[in-house]
Amino acid sequence: MKNLKLFVSLFAISCISFNSCNVNGLGDVPELSSVSSNNLNSIFNISTDNSGSVKITPVGEGITKSTVFFGNGTGGASSADVMPGQSIAHTYPEGNYTVTITTYSLSGTQITTTYPLVVTFSAPTNLRVEQSFAGTVLNLSVKADNANGIQVLWGDGGANETPTTLTGTRGNPFTGMHNYTPGVYTLTVKALSGGSASSTKTFPIVVYGPLTLPVTFENPIQNYSGGGTFGGADALVIDNPFKTGINTSSKVWKITKNVGAEVYAGTYTPLASPNGVPINIDNGSKFKMMVYATEVGKNLHFQIEDGNGNNPGVNVPITVANQWQELTFDFSSSGIVPGKIFNQYVFQYNLAAKGTGEVVYIDNITQTK
């Protein structure tokens, strides 16, 4: 009897000394913290790039394994086993979820705890739009930080236009194309977060019709600046400074052969498809236009080009100063074969000398038989 009392006393002292006793398997229960904001922060690492990726790290001591039930997904994608010290990532749509974590101890004891998870996507930022036209077809490339999608309203579908979803993936450009009727439109671009947040910008769109003769410089949906200049010349569509005589139209083309410009200085205007309608010589070998110059005697050179080195040209002198006159450039004796196509026309003024600052105005370029 004395020996039994001594054994019980020693056992009690042993329990006190080591601060732990395994009674009926209860001594190895994992020490789990209660659910708090700090605890949630240590369990969930939520991405901020609108990917929906959440890294989940079970917490606790004495854990041999954890099973994480994501609260999202089906079948095998709805849960995963996680070893001690490890994490598991899961991709969520925007929304509220309940994540359930079951932990297991060495003895097989398990504890199940639920955690609230809120996944919120932010509005995409830094929306950039690149656009280019091939004729009336708009090619669109859109980027936005943290965008999961791009939708556009092309602006030509009326009040009930259905948005178009561009092709692309998060982190890469989203692209699409649209064929317009020539006109002026408002393009609306909406960057989608993948949730409820979004960013929207609008852009004015001018869709030019193919440039074709006659060229009047009056049509707002024809691109009269589609060509360029060379040799030190300048060209610009301006308000008609001399609304008198035979030409009272609103707009004209001003060509300047600047001081010191090369002898050959001039302008070129492409008419090739899809941005233009080429010249077919069968429609007429004569080209008429209204011209205004400040001096007589100098020649205006008009040239048509096929892109293969066949570039017939005609010189016509200015015979009247400081008033509009109609000049005719006749190519009938230039040896052009029937059906010949020309993709560009060129103007050069006074090919006899370098530029001295001469200015000539041109309007109503017409092809005739």
Coil/strand/helix, residue 292: strand
DSSP per residue, 210-266 = PB-SSB-S--TTB-TTSSEEETTEEEEEEE-S--BTTB--SEEEEEEE-TT--TT-E
Q: What is the pLDDT of residue 108?
A: 83
- Separation of alpha carbons 348 and 361, rounded Å: 12
- Separation of alpha carbons 98 and 115, rounded Å: 6
By the 8 A CB rule, do 345 and 300 touch? no
Which residue spans of the chain are classified as CATH 2.60.40.10? 27-119, 125-207
**Does position 3 have pLDDT exceeding 80, yes or no?**
no
**Does position 4 have pLDDT exceeding 70, yes or no?**
no
Percent of the chain with pLDDT over 90: 86
- Helix locations, 19-71, DSSP H: 37-43
Q: Under CATH, what is the fold of the domain 125-207?
A: Immunoglobulin-like (2.60.40)
| 27-119 is classed CATH 2.60.40.10 | yes
**Does position 230 have pLDDT exceeding 70, yes or no?**
yes
**Does position 14 have pLDDT exceeding 90, yes or no?**
no
pLDDT tens digit sequence for 140-172? 999 999 999 999 999 999 999 999 999 999 999
Q: Which two tokens stand for residue 63?
A: 């854990």
Phi, psi of 190 (to 5 degrees): -120, 120
Which residue spans of the chain are classified as CATH 2.60.120.430? 228-368
- Separation of alpha carbons 242 and 362, rounded Å: 11
Q: What is the pLDDT of residue 267?
A: 98
Q: Under CATH, what is the fold of the domain 228-368?
A: Jelly Rolls (2.60.120)
Q: What is the pLDDT of residue 146?
A: 98
**Does position 107 have pLDDT exceeding 90, yes or no?**
no
Pick the more confident residue, 212 or 36.
Answer: 212
Mean pLDDT across the chain: 90
pLDDT tens digit sequence for 33-46? 344 444 566 899 99
DSSP per residue, 350-362 = -TTS--SSEEEEE
Closest CA to 201 of 132, 139, 147, 158: 147
